[in-house]
Structure 1
Amino acid sequence: MTNSILSAIHWNVSPEIFSIGSFEVRYYTLCFLLAFVSSYFLMLRIFQRENKSQELLDQLSIYIFIGTLLGARLGHCLFYEFDYYKDHPLEMILPYTYVNGKFTLTGFHGLASHGGAIGILAGIFLFCRKTKTDFLWLTDRLVIVIPLAGAFVRIGNFFNSEIIGLPSDLPWAVVFERVDQIPRHPAQLYEALSYVLIFVLLWNIYHKKPALKPGFIFGLFLILLFGARFVLEFVKENQEAFEDGMTYNMGQLLSLPFVAVGIYLLFRPAKKTA
């Protein structure tokens, strides 16, 4: 183990880029913003290619932003720390805690990607309902850029030294010194790389296969992204203690329904046109 520690990559970068008093800017925040900015400009290219207005994309962006934040936050509270938040429901959406008659600003701690996915789908549904946009048409295009956004978020997790991997003696193992002195799989980077590859694949399919049936790209996205998430969970530490006794952790269990929907969309018969 000593030789492994010496040969491993040591990571001890502060999560903060800079702070002024109680105000701080973190790498995770920067990565989160890059996720939305990159997604917006890529979607703008797609909308222009499809002769859709930028105003429509601007409306969609608001729905996606709100859906992502609310879904990711509520997903964490309900899927991973329900025992706590069922007794502190306001802390799910308000950045403070109330203890001994005193309000203390805590910020938000905990976002769940599966909850974010549900929130995005809910936002898309509401948007499509309001604007009379076809749901599968939109999801087939939106899911092309989501993996790239997810890659930025996982890089942010790497800067935070969170969602770490299991112990490893591989040459690229990383010692997250803010956590412990054990060489570990850089699981965040594995996930980020897999998401980039999924983005490249979907981007090329969209541009080279224009006649695919509605829902095909959406279904392929669900299978690839959540399939990758299921596999990579095997090299990641469990996020909560209750997962330690489970054969498959919460992230894997939550991935299965998404994969199942993806398989259905991919292999369902195409509707016949008159």
Structure 2
Amino acid sequence: MQITTDARGVARVLMNRPEVFNAFNEAMIAELTDAFDQLGQDPAVRVIVLSGQGKAFSAGADIQWMKRAAEATQDWNLADARKFAAMLDGLARCPKPTLAQVHGVALGGGVGLTLACDLAIASSKAQFAVSEARFGILPSVIGPYVVNAVGPRQARRLALTASRIGAQEALQLGLVQQVVEAEALDAAVQTCITELLAGGPQAQAEIKRLMAQLEVGPITPQVRELTAQTIARVRTGDEARDGFAAFLAKQPAPWVPPTSTQD
């Protein structure tokens, strides 16, 4: 795992096991858990980009890890699965905007990593598969993320067939939000970073916190009250006052890094 942070507060988490296509095992799960916990708490970090070294984003579970799991007890497997679930949850709940930069393949748990991020931009050459059934298991821990992204019917299709799909179909289904040519991937990520850096960091944390509590369905009195309470609290904060003042003065907001306009 390689972690770097630039002067703008853009942290890059690079999965660095290219020899196994960035497949993850117990050690990598622990490293990812720690990385997103620490970066999420670091006030200097504004945006987190997750990517993979080599030819793949992530091929999912390391086959040697799965072999150990198949030979271990159910209690060991439960503890192990809970660690994986906690890692994805920590990524999904990270208060900073997270962006998956996907090239090559994202298979099984690699799809889970993609979906746990707020945003995902993929190369046109990227491929995706919810591939667990091919190994006689199921996409259990990543299942809720798949269902939330594509809906239950498409999630069942992807999981039951374990078929590999291209980037354009992934875009249509909602696995990613943008697809660009391979040579334009870095530039597209930089454009997205610039857009994210223009937003208030506390506002973005509040957006993530609020939207995690909302579901598709009726807008109940409880939901209305939640949204009213949230905006009333945020509007009276320092960041909102600074943001409105900067807008009226036709100046950049104080949280916008001077170099962000150069990306």
TM-score normalised over the length of structure 2: 0.29
Q: Which has the larger radius of gyration?
A: 1
Give the structure with the higher percent helix: 1
Give the structure with the higher percent strand: 2
